[in-house]
């Protein structure tokens, strides 16, 4: 297994070029995996998110559909699931789904912590209660990843996650943001705090994270979980009525979902991309993006140019 130090040495040697050393680019079955820098543990590059339509379906208590999505993700070689107590019923229904399927130990379970209101401090007792509720919903003694949601009251909430990690109950900790005005605070925190992971928005039409966040993650050995790889509805609206270009088949993208996910996953700072879906056939489509090869630097440029050429 690669340690954080090995990872840093390898990514440093990869330099600014958007190419990964072969040892960072292994397959799990036919699914591409990436190492979490803190430990070298490998995870499949595509997983599953749970806001957007997933939370609506979970809210309708459609456990059958949610179970189908989990079953499909695992069958297709995925493991990583991202949720949050803040996504309506998502965490609770997902917990029931993996328990009813008997697959809770096969899922890399990433959830979040946030009990701070807008501009108000978090109550430590309520924060601990929220973490305990996440454990109960999953039904496991150990959760893989908990991140402070949207860098909210880090001074109160992050030390609580550190305590849980110290106690061996959480394997990885970090924070998330998908709001540009929070990026400067996120950057400072990445320099100051011992994060294993960050979660951030990134897509073929939303490249801001490449400027400072991704290089810093590589420098500090922090795993990157990509959120909103479709911009929720934004990219779907932009490509509506347009065919996927034939040249994308050269790196195995035959649908727009694969095009968008292969783009996000091909940045070398990215560890895993977690698109949300509530439909099993979309899960199959999304996992296909983790197979075959990823676009190289020239192909990535071409992908950006194509999307930029379409009216937004
Ligand atoms: N601050 C944070 O921590 C934060 C913020 C935002 C997001 N996130 C995480 O990131 C995840 C992803 O972001 P997101 O949910 O905002 O948006 P997203 O993944 O960019 O887009 C989800 C949308 O794409 C559709 N979709 C999924 N796969 C598809 C496919 N193969 N073909 C066609 N449509 C497809 C989904 O509908 P269907 O259900 O119909 O497939 C849904 O409407 C979230 O679920 C959440 O876990 C975290």
295 CB near ligand 1 (under 6 Å): no
199 CB near ligand 1 (under 6 Å): yes
Number of the ligand 1 atom closest to the C-alpha atom of 179:
1
Position 304 pLDDT exceeds 80: yes
Name the closest-CA residue to atom 29, ligand 1.
282
Q: What is the pLDDT of residue 6?
A: 59
pLDDT range class, residue 302, cuts 50, 70, 90? very high
Q: What is the DSSP string of 184-206?
A: HHHHHHHHHS--SEEEEE-BTTB
> What is the Cα–Cα distance from 312 to 158, expressed in whole angstroms?
38
Mean pLDDT is lowest, of 3-7, 84-88, 179-183, 256-260, for 3-7
> What is the Cα–Cα distance from 45 to 161, expressed in whole angstroms?
25
- Give the dihedral sign, CA 135/139/142/146: negative
CB-based contact 300:93 (threshold 8 Å): no
> What is the Cα–Cα distance from 159 to 124, expressed in whole angstroms?
10
Model confidence pLDDT, tens digit, residues 168-196: 999 999 999 999 999 999 999 999 999 99
Model confidence pLDDT, tens digit, residues 219-243: 999 999 999 999 999 999 999 999 9
Model confidence pLDDT, tens digit, residues 237-279: 999 999 999 999 999 999 999 999 999 999 999 999 999 999 9
Q: What is the pLDDT of residue 173?
A: 99
> What is the Cα–Cα distance from 142 to 232, expressed in whole angstroms?
30
pTM for the model: 0.93
Position 9 pLDDT exceeds 80: no
> What is the Cα–Cα distance from 245 to 305, expressed in whole angstroms?
12
Position 1 pLDDT exceeds 90: no
Q: What is the pLDDT of residue 17?
A: 38
């Amino acid at each position: 297994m690669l340690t954080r130090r090995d990872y840093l040495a390898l990514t440093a040697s990869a330099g600014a070029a958007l190419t990964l050393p072969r040892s960072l680019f292994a397959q799990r079955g036919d699914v591409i995996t990436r190492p979490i820098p803190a430990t070298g543990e490998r995870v499949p590059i595509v997983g599953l998110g749970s806001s957007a339509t997933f939370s609506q379906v979970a809210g309708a208590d459609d456990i059958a559909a949610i179970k189908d999505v989990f079953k499909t993700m695992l069958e297709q070689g995925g493991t990583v699931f991202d949720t949050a107590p803040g996504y309506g019923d998502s965490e609770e229904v997902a917990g029931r789904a993996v328990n009813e399927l008997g697959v809770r130990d096969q899922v890399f379970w990433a959830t979040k912590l946030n009990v701070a209101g807008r501009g108000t401090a978090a109550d430590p007792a309520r924060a601990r209660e929220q973490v305990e509720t996440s454990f109960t919903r999953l039904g496991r003694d150990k959760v893989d990843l908990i991140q402070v949601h949207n860098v909210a009251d880090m001074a109160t909430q992050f030390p609580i996650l550190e305590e849980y990690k110290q106690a061996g109950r959480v394997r990885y900790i970090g924070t998330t943001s998908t709001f540009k005005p929070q990026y400067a605070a996120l950057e400072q925190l990445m320099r100051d705090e011992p994060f294993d992971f960050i979660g951030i928005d990134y897509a073929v039409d939303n490249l801001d994270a490449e400027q400072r966040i991704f290089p810093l993650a590589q420098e500090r050995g922090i795993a990157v979980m990509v959120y909103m790889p479709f911009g929720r509805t934004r990219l779907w609206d932009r490509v509506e009525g347009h065919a996927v270009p034939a040249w994308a088949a050269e790196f195995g993208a035959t649908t727009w979902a694969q095009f968008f996910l292969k783009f996000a996953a091909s940045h070398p700072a990215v560890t895993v991309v977690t698109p949300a879906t509530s439909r099993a056939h979309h899960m199959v489509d999304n996992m296909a993006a983790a197979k075959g090869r990823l676009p190289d630097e020239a192909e990535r440029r071409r992908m950006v140019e194509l999307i930029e050429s379409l009216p937004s």
